[in-house]
Amino acid sequence: SVRAGQHYGNFVDNLRLYVRGGSGGMGLPRLGGQGGKGGDVRVVAQNAVTLKRFKDKYPQKRFIAGVGINSSVRTLRGQKGEDQEVMAPPGITVTNDDGKVLGELNTEGDRVLVARGGQGGSYHSEFLPSKGQTRQIRLDLKLIADLGLVGFPNAGKSSLLIALSHPKPQIASYAFTTLRPEIGKVMYEDHKQISVADLPGLIEGAHMNRGMGHQFLKHVERTRQLLFVVDVCGFQLASKTPFRSAFEAVQLLIKELELYKEDLPCKPAVLVVNKMDLPDAEDKLTELQEQLLNPHEFSHLLPDDMLPKNNMVFRHVVPISAATGFGIAHLKTYIRQSLDKDASMATDSLHRDRLQVNKHVN
């Protein structure tokens, strides 16, 4: 199945590009001179790049390599045309338009040839050059899971993962990262499966690279949607850190995502309010929902440097208790609907993309 261009707000997880190898250079019949080969187009992994920056920098998304130099009396063997290198982030699958995998970019410096240059004119081709290869290709961010759990260490993410999963969650490893997240599978009666990743716990200041924080954030973008998990009664990370209410926890999580990468809060997200079996949970939930409706009225609860720039709108707020199983069935139903809805929107956008490209090509 081909995943189509999913753009939530301005979050980008894949791109389609037009690539063309350079044509070869003309041969020189009377002296048997050979034209230069056309340049090739390669996609090269580079750590500093993101698909969002790439899209902003190259809105046309067209990459054409240089033409081979014609054979001449001075230079019988024409020089090769200039290669074109397209920089993309590591952790990318490169495919053609039919979904056939052309190559993988796992670590910095990995390269995939996507369009060959044409041959220069020579004795075998009656000195006429050939054109370069032309292709539509896709760069897809490799996903760790459909859903990523985001929360502070005591929010109950691992017990939620166990409550959602069948069979038990497994530790997974990937070629493009040293992080080994725990992955659970949610099974549905029609045999559909949805994968959920519990990435190592986020701590305040993760974007400043404390502990695993930065790596964690890097992997949040490798999921289709986010499940924020908070303790309805709030939390205190350590005796030295201040107590945070559920509302403050949500704001801090959004801030961490935003500081790491400004477009991350544009991903679709659901807020899961856990530990509804605790006393006073209902009152606390009501309070949280009021605060989420008017976050600016409660911004005084946090210091300015901990307030997110933009408010994140959750698609749904689901109260649950991972301990008793309350709300789990509703959550399973909702995440399935949410992912299905995005998949159909993505298919529509792929059709529109293809129509646009065909207009340009013809």
273 vs 301, more confident: 273
The whole-chain average pLDDT of the chain stands at 86
Q: What is the pLDDT of residues 165-189, one digit of tens each?
A: 987 888 777 676 656 778 899 999 9
SS3 of residue 125 by DSSP: helix
pLDDT of residue 202: 60
The pLDDT of residue 261 is above 90? no
Separation CA 309–CA 304 (nearest Å): 10
Maximum mean pLDDT: which of 60-74, 241-255, 260-274: 60-74
pLDDT of residue 132: 98
Instruction: Please name the residue that has the structure tokens 């340009």.
Output: 360
Q: Which long-range contacts (CB under 8 A, 24 or more apart) does 164-167 make?
A: 164/196, 164/328, 164/331, 164/332, 165/196
The pLDDT of residue 3 is above 50? no
Separation CA 245–CA 235 (nearest Å): 7
Confidence grade of residue 250 (pLDDT, cut at 50, 70, 90): very high
Mean pLDDT for 28-34 is: 95
pLDDT of residue 228: 94
The pLDDT of residue 241 is above 80? no
Share of the chain above pLDDT 90, in %: 53
**Backbone dihedral angles phi then psi of residue 106, each to the nearest 5 degrees:** -105, -40
The pLDDT of residue 309 is above 80? yes
The DSSP H or E segment spanning 96 is: strand 92-96
Mean pLDDT for 82-105 is: 92
pLDDT of residue 177: 65
The pLDDT of residue 354 is above 60? yes
